[in-house]
Amino acid sequence: MNVTKVIWRGLSKSNRDVCLLASIGGNSKTSLVFELSLIPTAIIEAWDEYNAPGDACMIPPGVWTKVERAILRRYALEFWLAYTHGWDGAPHLQATHVASVNSRDKALEARGMDWSVFEVLDVGAPMSSQSALCPGSKEFSNKRGFKIGCGSCPMACNAGAAKKWRAVVTHGNGDASRKAAANRRGNNELMNERGQVKGLYVAA
């Protein structure tokens, strides 16, 4: 069962009319997954189906504290998927969210501020030896022959998980072609800084 509900509506820090959505999902093979998204109200009113991007850092801290408290009464932190790109200006999210970063320098900066980190790697870039590869990634499944969904992941993407540094290779438009090209050049292995193979761009 997958359900998306509006759990808060108000003005963002930039005075936009927005809604905070809670997506609750799971199936017979995974436990409950709870994901938060922020989206302009006008889009929700115009679309019957939508992809809901956004970031809780856009919600005023005083409002977020009340929303967080209400959510935690119903959904334990272990079930959350919670990322923020605005981590350096949103310390009030640190108890529930992970910092989403796109560079090693930012990952180290966030860890230095005691954030849990989710680092997005470029194709060909090494993983930090302190990080673990996302078990839901193609690179993980290409090497191991299986992957783990978010609902049963042992290092869930929230501040409560024991693993504090997770990594995934970029997987947007054009990235599959870049990975295939790397494989043709003989660079199919995703390694960490110690030269240990952690994943494969293309299944062997």
Pairing, β 132-133 against β 165-169: parallel
What number is the average pLDDT over the span 159-173?
89
Q: How far apart are the first and last CA of the chain?
A: 34
What pLDDT, in 10s, does the model give residues 39-73? 777 765 654 443 444 578 878 888 888 888 888 88
Are 159 and 97 in contact, with CB atoms under 8 Å apart?
Answer: yes
pTM (predicted TM-score): 0.77
Look up residue 72 and give its DSSP letter.
Answer: H
pLDDT of the residue at 6: 76
Q: How far apart are CA 9 and CA 76, in angstroms?
A: 22
Are 83 and 98 in contact, with CB atoms under 8 Å apart?
Answer: yes
Tell me which residue of 179, 193, 82, 183 sits closest to 138, measured CA to CA: 179
What pLDDT, in 10s, does the model give residues 93-124? 999 999 999 999 999 999 999 999 999 999 99
Number of domain units in the chain:
1
Within a 10 A sphere around the Cβ of 148, how many other Cβ atoms? 17
Look up residue 192 and give its DSSP letter.
Answer: B
By the 10 Å C-beta count (0-12 exposed, 13-18 middle, 19+ buried), 145 is classed as exposed
Structural domain that includes position 177:
3-200
pLDDT of the residue at 158: 86
- Does the structure show a pLDDT above 80 at 127? yes
Q: How far apart are CA 132 and CA 162, in angstroms?
A: 12
- Better-scored residue on pLDDT, 28 or 136: 136
Helix-strand-coil percent breakdown of the chain, rounded to 5? 30, 25, 45
Q: Which residue has the tokens 């969210």?
A: 97
Q: How far apart are CA 62 and CA 174, in angstroms?
A: 40
